[in-house]
Amino acid sequence: MPVLVMKFGGTSVANLDRIRRAAKRVGVEVAKGYDVIVIVSAMSGKTNELVGWVGETSPLYDAREYDAVVSSGENVTAGLMALTLQEMEIPARSWQGWQVPVRTTSAHSAARIEEIPSENIMAKFAQGMRVAVVAGFQGVSPEGRITTLGRGGSDTTAVAFAAAFHAERCDIYTDVDGVYTTDPRIASKARKLDRIAFEEMLELASLGAKVLQTRSVELAMRYNVKLRVLSSFEEQSDDAGTLVCAEEEIMESNVVTGIAYSRDEAKMTLLSVADRPGIAAAIFGPLSDAGVNVDMIIQNISEDGRTDMTFSCPTDQVMRAEKALKDAVAAGQIEYQDLVADTDVAKVSAVGIGMRSQSGVAAQMFKTLSDEGINIKVIATSEIKISVLIDRKYMELAVQALHDAFKLEKAG
């Protein structure tokens, strides 16, 4: 029988009533003739509670025990979902990561999936099991210890299973009914997309859209796994939600597909840095070693052998960046006059595969912001993305204005 992967997020399994609702959706797909692999998250709020308990018990915790504790939330959901399906007379069994096994690296709390053998679950399907309920977010290290994949890791689990089992599709059930042209809470004209290309979804996810975890989209693109994002709380049809697929499967689209934003950005500037070969490596090497996620980078015009270097990073990494750069000064790697951090900025981005073949997007974006009196602090571009840093107080205005300027309320 064909295999379908269905993933239910925390809000979709927040209590027993919602687990029953999710189980009914699974039953519909079983009735269509699918063998179903269900990936479940912990019940809403449970992971945060478990993380809090770990921190309260041991501020400098052992990462292996952290994983043992925080992975337990998914185990509970998997067991309850399997029991619910059994009550519906659907042959189901729960599986923890080590039972599959989901083989991962040893990087506790940030492990990466290396292999998912299909033999165990496929053997049970052959024996009459119709649903395998798998605890998401977790796996097993080469040492035999429980590992977790990082927050949002159940999305990655679902896509990895879809790839390993050559599933027909991977359905991600969440609290939104698809991927929108921008956040509907900010722009009332935001439109749900029927389809979006992997590359566009990857950019939107990395730029702040919270619908799918970035690693899950990377995996889907690599293995060409069709992803469908749906709501757990609305009646479904065969064309419900948003399909994330290869660019070739999209007939026509707007030049710009969506507007993304991130309010948790900081702009950091090193003043009067020596302008010499290797200075960029001397600055960004220590930042990389410290785990600082640098995004936009601008180097100003050199004057008298000195230059200013500006970059952006998440606001919660500012202190880490400052320490890494001060340590680099102490080690004699770099020198600068001052380090200025501006934590009151936001990043707004226009994304679309149509940018590859059509010019004028940047000009229109910059003119729109200018017309609204919004000053651009930093610009970064890629083949399908233009991002700007602006004052955070203008973020919502910028999103609304750009959504209107690119007429994203209309289908391409």
Closest CA to 183 of 83, 113, 261, 239: 261
Q: Judge if 189 and 71 occupy the same domain.
A: yes
Predicted pLDDT of residue 357: 81
Predicted pLDDT of residue 60: 87
- Across the range 248-277, mean pLDDT stands at 88
The Cα-based distances of 270 to 310, 317, 334, 337, 366 in angstroms read 6, 16, 11, 7, 26
> Last residue of some domain: 217, 251, 285?
251
> Last residue of some domain: 219, 251, 283?
251
pLDDT exceeds cutoff 70 at 20: yes
Domain assignment present for 312: yes
Domain assignment present for 410: no
Q: Judge if 267 and 390 occupy the same domain.
A: yes
- Pairwise CA distance, residues 177 & 180, whole Å: 9
Question: How confident is the model over 237-258, as pLDDT tens digits?
Answer: 666 889 998 888 887 678 999 9
Which residue would you say has higher pLDDT here, 27 or 176? 27
User: What secondary structure letter does DSSP report for 13?
Assistant: G
What CATH number is attached to the domain comprising 279?
3.30.2130.10
Number of compact structural domains in the chain: 2
- Across the range 302-306, mean pLDDT stands at 77
Give kind and range of the element (H or E) at residue 21.
Answer: helix 16-31
Name the pLDDT band for 372 (thresholds 50, 70, 90). very high
pLDDT exceeds cutoff 70 at 62: yes
Burial pattern 368-391, b for ≥16 Cβ within 10 A else e, equals: bbeeeebeebbebeeebbbbbbbe
DSSP codes joined into one string, 218-233: HHHHHHT--EEEEETT
- Pairwise CA distance, residues 361 & 379, whole Å: 13
The Cα-based distances of 196 to 215, 217, 269, 352 in angstroms read 17, 12, 36, 9
pLDDT exceeds cutoff 70 at 45: yes
Domain assignment present for 285: yes
Q: Judge if 152 and 267 occupy the same domain.
A: no
pLDDT exceeds cutoff 90 at 127: yes
- Across the range 274-302, mean pLDDT stands at 89
What CATH number is attached to the domain comprising 85?
3.40.1160.10
Domain assignment present for 132: yes
Q: Judge if 242 and 96 occupy the same domain.
A: yes
Q: What pTM value is reported for the model?
A: 0.81
Question: How confident is the model over 337-370, as pLDDT tens digits?
Answer: 999 999 999 999 999 998 888 888 999 999 999 9
Question: How confident is the model over 181-233, as pLDDT tens digits?
Answer: 998 889 989 998 999 999 999 888 877 666 788 889 999 999 999 999 998 88
Tokens encoding 327: 């340590």
- Across the range 42-47, mean pLDDT stands at 94
> Last residue of some domain: 251, 283, 317?
251
Q: Judge if 233 and 264 occupy the same domain.
A: no
pLDDT exceeds cutoff 70 at 34: yes
Name the pLDDT band for 276 (thresholds 50, 70, 90). confident
Question: How confident is the model over 386-399, as pLDDT tens digits?
Answer: 999 999 999 999 99
pLDDT exceeds cutoff 90 at 157: yes
Domain assignment present for 411: no
- Pairwise CA distance, residues 361 & 352, whole Å: 10
Q: Domain of 353?
A: 259-405
Q: Judge if 247 and 315 occupy the same domain.
A: no
Q: Is 144 left (phi over 0), alpha (psi -120 to 50) or beta?
A: left
Name the pLDDT band for 43 (thresholds 50, 70, 90). very high
- Across the range 130-142, mean pLDDT stands at 97
Neighbours of 320 (CB within 10 A): 16
Burial pattern 29-40, b for ≥16 Cβ within 10 A else e, equals: bbeeebbbbbbb
Q: Judge if 173 and 301 occupy the same domain.
A: no
Predicted pLDDT of residue 141: 97
- 3-class SS of residue 367: helix
Domain assignment present for 176: yes
Neighbours of 240 (CB within 10 A): 18
pLDDT exceeds cutoff 70 at 304: yes
Burial pattern 58-71, b for ≥16 Cβ within 10 A else e, equals: eeeeebeebbbbbb
Q: Judge if 163 and 41 occupy the same domain.
A: yes
- Across the range 116-128, mean pLDDT stands at 97
Q: Judge if 298 and 171 occupy the same domain.
A: no
Predicted pLDDT of residue 412: 63
Predicted pLDDT of residue 240: 81
Domain assignment present for 123: yes
Q: Judge if 116 and 95 occupy the same domain.
A: yes
Instruction: Say which residues have a Cβ less than 8 Å from residue 127's Cβ, sequence separation at least 6.
Output: none
Q: Judge if 297 and 244 occupy the same domain.
A: no
Q: Judge if 226 and 283 occupy the same domain.
A: no
In the chain, the percentage of residues whose pLDDT exceeds 70 is 97
Predicted pLDDT of residue 351: 94
Predicted pLDDT of residue 237: 63
Tokens encoding 145: 């210890």
- 3-class SS of residue 110: coil
